[in-house]
Amino acid sequence: MSGLMQYILTGLSQGGLYALVGLGFVLIYNVTGIINFVQGEFVMLGAMLAIAYQHLGLPLPLVILFTVLTVALIGGGLEIVSIRPAKNATPLTLIIITIGLSMVLRGVALVVWGTDPVVMQPFSNAGPVKILGGSLMPQEFYILGATVLVVCLLYVFLDHTVMGKAFRACVINKLGASLMGIDPRRMSTLAFALGAGIGAIGGVVFAPTLASYDMGVALGVKGFIAAVLGGLTSVPGVILSGFIVGIGESFGTAFVSSGYKDGITLLVLLLVLLFRPQGLFGIYGSKRV
């Protein structure tokens, strides 16, 4: 039983990370219709920048703040520079643009930080915490906590601020929103900035575990899987799916050879796509909510 709990706990914390990555995907996809291949790199930047800011001697809260702001700015900036100019682009063109951007970011990270993985100091130096027969490192709590916090903040933003409501309007009906005076281009930039920022938060909380210039690729794929499983259009869906993927992986490692554990997730994804392409919560055929 304790083994079971451990798998679940580990899976939850890993899943929280995937949920965050996937959340960024979902936000961007819903507002812009773009499958954002840069998402993983935003996470990577979050991790690497957090370590860099920490080296500057900043206290942890500022590190987190600056990191998230920086990456959000980068995300918005990239959108302005490379997505906006591509008017009338087909989805394929936009996908390739994001692929190119991800290469650029990866290359820049490689240049700046080299190939060696680095780690950040854990947020707290306490020992493992025991829960119901399993144990979690404090950092893993932080990952979970970050996920919960982000979801709450997002909820507050979307439901209770004017800008958030404008955002939602754009998701639901771009034309209608623009007729109401909401500029879809600015919303698009905002979406990228938000998606990047959320990804960065994931990176920051994961940084004490691992950070390297190429961590974005695998995390991007996992987050993407979570997003699709959740239906690509649903925030609760992606969060839940992130946890499912995390837990699935965790159990997979236990019962299947470690190499194939990734295969299980992928296979599940394929099956879901085949039988329920709208994912767990989405609506098939609707590109946005």
Partner 1 sequence: MHLSAGPKLKAALILAALAVAVLLPFTLDNSIISLLIFAGLYTLVTVGLCLLMGYAGQISLGQAAFYGIGAYSTAILTTRFAINPWLAMLAGVVLAVAISFVVGWPLLKLEKHYLALATLAFGLIVQLVIVEEAEITGGSSGISSIPRLSLGSFSFDNDFKFYFLVLGFALIGSLLAGNIVNSRVGRALRAVHTSEVAARSLAVPVNQIKTQVFALSAAYASIAGSLFAHYISFVAPNSFGLLTSIDFLVMAVIGGMASIWGPITGALAVVFLRRLLQTVVPMFFPRASGEYEIIVFGLILVAVMIFLPEGLFSGVKSILSGRGLLKSRTLKLKNEGESVQIRVMEDEQDTGGQGNALGSQRS
Site residues, partner 1 (CB under 8 A)? 35, 82, 85-86, 89-93, 95-97, 99-108, 110-111, 217, 221, 224-225, 228, 232, 257, 259-260, 262-263, 266-267, 269-270, 273-274, 277, 284-285
- Closest to partner 1 by CB, 8 vs 227, is 227
Least distance (Å) from partner 1 to the CB of residue 54? 23
- Closest to partner 1 by CB, 99 vs 132, is 99
Q: State which amino acid sits at residue 209.
A: T
Tokens of 100: 């190119």
- Closest to partner 1 by CB, 108 vs 154, is 108
CA 14 – CA 202 distance, rounded (Å): 10
Q: How many CB atoms lie within 10 A of CB 116?
A: 7
- Closest to partner 1 by CB, 150 vs 226, is 226
Least distance (Å) from partner 1 to the CB of residue 66? 24
Least distance (Å) from partner 1 to the CB of residue 97? 5
CA 183 – CA 229 distance, rounded (Å): 30
- Closest to partner 1 by CB, 44 vs 144, is 44
CA 225 – CA 234 distance, rounded (Å): 13
Cα–Cα distance list, 151 to 19, 35, 99, 136, 168 (Å) = 10, 21, 27, 22, 15
Cα–Cα distance list, 144 to 9, 15, 136, 182 (Å) = 10, 8, 11, 34
CA 209 – CA 203 distance, rounded (Å): 10
User: Which residues are CB-contacts of 18 (< 8 A; sequence separation ≥ 6)?
Assistant: 219, 222, 223, 225, 226, 242, 243, 245, 246
| Nearest CA-CA partner of 103 in 191, 41, 28 | 41
- Closest to partner 1 by CB, 13 vs 241, is 241
Least distance (Å) from partner 1 to the CB of residue 180? 26
- Closest to partner 1 by CB, 93 vs 124, is 93
Least distance (Å) from partner 1 to the CB of residue 89? 6
Tokens of 282: 């989405």
E strands in the chain: 129-131, 134-136
Least distance (Å) from partner 1 to the CB of residue 234? 15
Least distance (Å) from partner 1 to the CB of residue 213? 9
